[in-house]
Amino acid sequence: MPQVTVGVSLKTYFGHERARAWFEDVAARVRDHDAVRSGAVSFFVTPTYLQVLPAIDAFAETPVRVGGQDVSAHPAGAFTGEVTAAELAEIGATIAEIGHAERRRLFGETDAVVAEKVSAALGAELTPLLCIGETERQQPADAADVAVEQLRSALADAPAGAVIVAYEPVWAIGAPEPAAHEHVRVVAAALRAALGADAARSGSSVIYGGAAGPGLLTALGDAVDGVFLGRFAHDPDALMSVLDEASALAARRASRSLSEERSDALRLASLAQEPENAGDPA
């Protein structure tokens, strides 16, 4: 069944005990969520480093994926304060968030650093959650050019492996409203085309972040593979509403795929029943 992806970054909004309570609450709910349990909806969360292990424990009996909000570009060694991709993978994390606008703006991360971190993550068999997006409001076609260039830069020398591309126009992060639907459609289509042209990125997806909330998945439909939530998801009730929305979208996609498969089967069966020489002149 086609997947719809929903992700949540907790940034550093939660202290340790509040994060643990949130994990336990959300884990109890998703254990009974049919679409998450079946895999029709893929759900992930990226808490702080200190919260990664409690999150892994809380979600142990669910398909929920847990990742870090950052990862070191370096291997193990004399890199004080860093957390390596290998260690994240060792403790059970499966995702590494890389290149978020805040990392670029506040900590000076460049495209070159982002590329190094993507390679480190893929080398440790972590899925990079690659955040990209234009800093200023632009025409959709221009924004698509910026996004695709960031994508290509990040993946140019990276090992093979799927990535989750989180398209987050920087000007929309924390804004009252997300980017216009047509804007997202144009940029997401360009990103999908770039990923589809790269055989090393099979299984990759494009999700939208930046003031994402309820109703957005329904409005965007097949334009994206999911959404990346921020503070909206701090309320578990609100998060579940988006997971329900994702479930409905996944069901529609699955129904359409099944219908297309049946149409293809009928067409092939019809062709098989045609006389062998039906097209030959008498």
Q: Which active-site residues does the annotation give?
A: 100, 168
Helices 49-58 and 16-30, interaxial angle, to 10°? 30
What are the residues whose beta carbons fall under 8 Å from the beta carbon of 125, sequence distance 6 or more?
89, 161
Token pair belonging to 246? 């994702």
Look at the block and give the residue holding tokens 């971190």: 117
Q: What phi-psi label fits residue 128: left (phi over 0), alpha (psi between -120 and 50 degrees) or beta? A: beta
Closest CA to 195 of 183, 184, 207, 209: 207
Burial class, 82, CB count within 10 angstroms (exposed 0-12 / middle 13-18 / buried 19+): middle
b/e for 111-142, b at 16 or more Cβ within 10 A? bebbbbbbbbbbebebbbbbbbbbeeebebee
What are the residues whose beta carbons fall under 8 Å from the beta carbon of 4, sequence distance 6 or more?
40, 41, 42, 217, 225, 226, 246, 247, 249, 250, 253
